[in-house]
Structure 1
């Protein structure tokens, strides 16, 4: 590493960015059971089991409400075709409440397969590190004290943006895990709404939203792949310009692309909702 303070500051910011981006690649290929050693998942499983009792009670309630609203009289319930329809609906809802977690994990595995396919098709197993070009490092090191003063200001602003964006990026990915845990913990309640025809839309919306959260990982990994390809061919450095101009243009373009990446990741849920017509 260079002894120049300006270079060190920029390199430290880029190291933070590369570290968070590498962590994202690891997180997106990790299952909820393994996240943070699996301790969180054990608590979620216990909560899901406790909420199942509430789900069974609501299952009966929604079934009765649905039967009352869809049947004009008790005689209609005695019809074989209607009775069979009600029985199948109740059995499906009961199965969803009982084995909902297994179903959600199966859906997670499917999406993880999609993410792995995207990564393998791109030919990338990890992101390409973003580094300062050697020409820029040389130009900065050749600057005198007074020439370095404006470089300090540019460096501080650029480093601050890069560091903040890196933490926003990783927090978004952590937030996806939080949503997966919350969906899994409370799943028996929305699944119980499938027992009644008037309330089944709640369960459908829950399933769509959960699929949207899972597919956010595919959008995030695509955005990271695009940025990694960009990082492998960084912006051109104008060696004929002054050092401060060179750094300003380079850092500005780099921060702009980082903003695009972070913005895409932050809007991944909206992108998925538009794709699924939700």
Structure 2
């Protein structure tokens, strides 16, 4: 009877150990790949990220939004002229300098609207330069290498009892599923940011048409702040990845396996949460609401 129990126990151990080794093998490969791609993705300008989408958004902005911006520009500059005249004692004591001031502001507004696309892309070119410089300074190896602990892990697992093996198998299964969810989160963050950039830049001429008006100008200023926030969000993402890289390299993978994989998952969850927060952090820095 004891022989049968021992055989059954060994058989269950082999199944559990095989499952644990299968779960651990390649568990962090997808995360490592996505984290490695983050620095590449956020360092791209909208044109470099996808040229076809960039061309489509530029065409929409210049052919659809610029005429609308022209109508808005005519309205706000007419309102600006009325305000300049009324401010001088209700049409009394009008100076010719008022009209020169209005002509100058109108010329600047037209110049801004007609060159909106270049201004917007200039913001992202500036942000890309900062990100590329930062990548060469702070980015380290953010890969989680668990192969160092799996070399003699199978022999160590065979020495464990069935209870702890069941627990470790369940933990490795749960962490593996969680890692795939985190991979999706990282994908959504990096790709979602670029989609947001394309959507925001497509409307650029409309808020930029209000820049030279005293009352409506706040719209254009807030829009520029939001552009800088989107651009420099990439810098915050690079800093997050750099901090993550330092943390994962200090994980002791040769000790408690359960502690190691849970620590790795904890750092990855922290990375995803922080990446989600980089957008609001950047907006708070530039006061873009």
Superposed CA offset, 1:212-233 (max 9, x none): 0111000001111111222333
Hey, what's the Cα distance between the residues in 2 that align with 1:93 and 1:258?
47
* Residue 121 to residue 149, structure 1, CA distance change in 2 (3 Å): same
Which residue of the partner structure matches residue 137 of structure 2?
121
Secondary structure of the residue aligned to 1:44 is helix
Which residue of the partner structure matches residue 184 of structure 2?
167
Which residue of the partner structure matches residue 241 of structure 1?
none
Hey, what's the Cα distance between the residues in 2 that align with 1:236 and 1:142?
14
| Aligned partner (choices 2, 17, 22) of residue 36 of structure 2 | 22
- Deviation, structure 1 residue 276: 2.8
C-alpha RMSD over aligned residues: 2.3
* Residue 259 to residue 71, structure 1, CA distance change in 2 (3 Å): farther
Q: How does 1:195-210 map to 2 (within 5 A)?
A: 195-210=212-227
* Residue 77 to residue 169, structure 1, CA distance change in 2 (3 Å): farther
Contact 1:212 1:272 in 2 (8 A): yes
Which residue of the partner structure matches residue 252 of structure 1?
262
Contact 1:66 1:199 in 2 (8 A): no
1:80 aligns with 2:90: no
Give TM-score scaled by structure 1 length.
0.87
Hey, what's the Cα distance between the residues in 2 that align with 1:46 and 1:25?
29
Hey, what's the Cα distance between the residues in 1 that align with 2:262 and 2:114?
53
Structure 1 runs not aligned, ≥5 long: 239-245
Contact 2:175 2:262 in 1 (8 A): yes
Hey, what's the Cα distance between the residues in 2 that align with 1:225 and 1:101?
32
1:44 aligns with 2:54: no
- Deviation, structure 1 residue 78: 5.2
Q: Which of the pair has more CA radius of gyration?
A: 2
Contact 1:158 1:252 in 2 (8 A): yes
Corresponding residue pairs, total? 266
* Residue 79 to residue 8, structure 1, CA distance change in 2 (3 Å): farther
Which residue of the partner structure matches residue 231 of structure 1?
248
Q: How does 1:94-133 map to 2 (within 5 A)?
A: 94-122=110-138, 124=139, 127-132=141-146
Hey, what's the Cα distance between the residues in 2 that align with 1:84 and 1:77?
16
* Residue 11 to residue 61, structure 1, CA distance change in 2 (3 Å): farther
Give TM-score scaled by structure 2 length.
0.83
Which residue of the partner structure matches residue 33 of structure 1?
47
Contact 2:157 2:165 in 1 (8 A): yes
Secondary structure of the residue aligned to 1:30 is coil
- Deviation, structure 1 residue 5: 3.4
Structure 2 runs not aligned, ≥5 long: 1-16
- Deviation, structure 1 residue 70: 4.5
* Residue 95 to residue 4, structure 1, CA distance change in 2 (3 Å): farther
